[in-house]
């Protein structure tokens, strides 16, 4: 494409570097910004710069945070004997949104994937073990919940971590897998359905 302005060309190039945004969408976004007040662009640009420049990661759970220790790890009402291990930051948000969990988190920053060259050392696994071993008194970690993706990589990572934790007699659990709530049996894939029969649980209506 040939643009009649270097400014728009530059903006389109930068915006289209974002994942999932092509040149046409970038152009649409740039033209949208042009039609808004100048403060809209300024606020957007400011928020992006500030985010990248000032963001911190919690030194305990590696979630994004504005402080050295994040608000969840520092939360007074949080059950500090529970740690939920997740792949990445959006997973923390997803679980928080359920309002069903009141423990702490640990963000691994990925899962073990030999194909992508990600081994245990690239992830925050040692940091998880140390964190658990260093916990004491009321904050002693009693259970670790694996909430990793239901893929081969996720399963491998869960297996690796659980073996490490078994050495230290920590209870390890994993989030339930089965047919989703509201799911029809006939539309559930065979693997999920098969596993949901094998891993059936005691019927307990609530």
**Pair 33, 55: CB distance under 8 Å:** no
Among 89, 118, 172, 175, binds its own copies (CB under 8 A): 89
Least Å distance between CB 198 and its own copies? 33
Segment contacting its own copies by CB under 8 A, of 8-16, 115-123, 145-153, 193-201: 8-16
Q: Does 72 bind its own copies (CB under 8 A)?
A: yes
Residues 6+ apart with CB under 8 A from 70: 58, 60, 61, 63, 64
Report the run of H or E that residue 171 belongs to, with start and end.
strand 171-174
Beta bridge partner(s), residue 104: 83
Instruction: Please name every residue paired with 107 in a beta bridge, in sequence order, or none if there are none.
Output: 86
Q: Which residue, 75 or 119, is less far from its own copies as judged by CB?
A: 75
Under rule CB under 8 A, residue 76 binds its own copies: no
58 interacts with its own copies by CB under 8 A: yes
Residue 40 neighbours by CB under 8 Å, 6+ apart? 33
Residues in the site for its own copies, rule: CB under 8 A? 1-8, 10-11, 13-15, 17-21, 25, 27-34, 36, 38, 40-56, 58, 63-66, 70-72, 88-90, 92-93, 96-97
């Amino acid at each position: 494409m040939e643009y009649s302005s270097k400014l728009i060309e530059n903006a389109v190039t930068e915006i289209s570097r974002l994942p999932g945004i092509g040149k046409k969408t970038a152009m649409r976004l740039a033209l949208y910004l042009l039609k808004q007040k100048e403060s809209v662009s300024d606020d957007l640009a400011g928020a992006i710069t500030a985010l990248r420049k000032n963001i911190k990661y919690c030194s305990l759970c590696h979630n994004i945070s504005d402080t050295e220790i994040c608000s969840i790890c520092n939360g007074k009402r949080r059950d500090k004997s529970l740690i939920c291990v997740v792949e990445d930051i959006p997973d923390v948000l997803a679980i928080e949104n359920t309002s069903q969990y009141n423990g702490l988190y640990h963000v691994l920053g990925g899962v073990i994937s030999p194909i992508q060259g990600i081994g245990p050392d690239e992830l925050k696994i040692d940091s998880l073990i140390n964190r658990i071993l260093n916990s004491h008194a009321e904050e002693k970690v009693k259970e670790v919940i694996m909430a990793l993706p239901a893929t081969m990589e996720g399963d491998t990572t869960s297996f690796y971590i659980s073996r490490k934790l078994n050495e230290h007699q920590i209870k390890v659990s994993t989030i339930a897998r089965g047919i989703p709530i509201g799911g029809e049996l006939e539309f559930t894939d065979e693997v999920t359905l098969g596993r949901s029969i094998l891993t059936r649980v005691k019927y307990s209506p609530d």
